[in-house]
Amino acid sequence: MVEEHRELIQVEELAALLGSGAHTVLLDVRWALGDPHGREHYAAGHLPGAVFVNMETELSARPGPDTGRHPLPTAEDFAATVRAWGINDDSEIVLYDDSGALAAARGWWLLRHAGFRGVRVLDGGLGAWKAAGHPLETGNNIPVPGTAAASWDQMPVIDIEEAAAFPARGILLDSRAAERYRGEVEPIDPRAGHIPGAHNRPTTANLTADGHLLAPEDLTAALAELGVESGAPEVAAYCGSGVTAAHQILALETIGVHAALFPGSWSQWSSDPARPAGTGEQP
């Protein structure tokens, strides 16, 4: 596996990598909440050689009130999935989507959790690739199975009890839209509100208008307002179901802050009527 740790890759870097002869696996994580047609979008146009990744069946286990809407897959299931994507131990892995990496980051996080280091997210995603004039292909790619030996538990994770106690020792970031954090609306989960003591940092605030991640200096300045900075207290992130919180962690990694994920997130928390729900602005 590649030892150098870089989270993002730019379009021209990727084009050069694909032309270099290195064994590169492209993963297309075309998913958005409420849109079940990811595979159809992929088949209509994707980066040459890219493999479609299914959020519901490959990046998540079966949902339930005790685990949330997108629980983590088991180590065994994910190891089999990684090999089915055609990944070997020496593969360069690049993930992308068409939604600012809000979906691709979940795949990035799981691959890092499984011990892969040569894994990056295409900054700007599908839109940046097309804007640079690079070609797309249609149809479906079926890769030759890989031989990668995945591990597990390589990224920090907190459970629901740790999430409840986390604000007492660190900074818990709620990655959802501000109106959901404040408890004004809740279109998906059983109750509105947020985990008491959590701070709101919508993942969309980490993106430019064209879907690129903010420059490190801009991210650093914005997150410092919440007390998040290198060497600060521990940081953890959650969202609705543990998907876009991975994007928060990706953004934090680019500025040297290593945060934990609460996989069950609000979907698990709000399913337990005994768990309190905060409302209103930042604590």
Domains in the chain, CATH or no CATH each: 8-131 (3.40.250.10), 160-269 (3.40.250.10)
Catalytic residue among 236, 239, 243, 246: 239
> pLDDT for 112-158, tens place per residue?
999 999 999 999 999 999 999 999 999 999 999 999 998 999 999 99
Q: What are phi and psi of 206, to 5 degrees?
A: -90, 5
pTM value? 0.96
Q: Cβ contacts of residue 221 below 8 Å, gap of 6+? A: none
Question: pLDDT grade, residue 283 (50/70/90)?
Answer: confident
Cα–Cα distance, 173 to 188 (Å, whole number): 19
Q: Name the helix (H) or strand (E) containing 38.
A: helix 38-44
SS3 content of the chain, % helix, strand, coil (to 5): 30, 15, 55
> pLDDT for 148-174, tens place per residue?
998 999 999 999 999 999 999 999 999
274 is catalytic: no
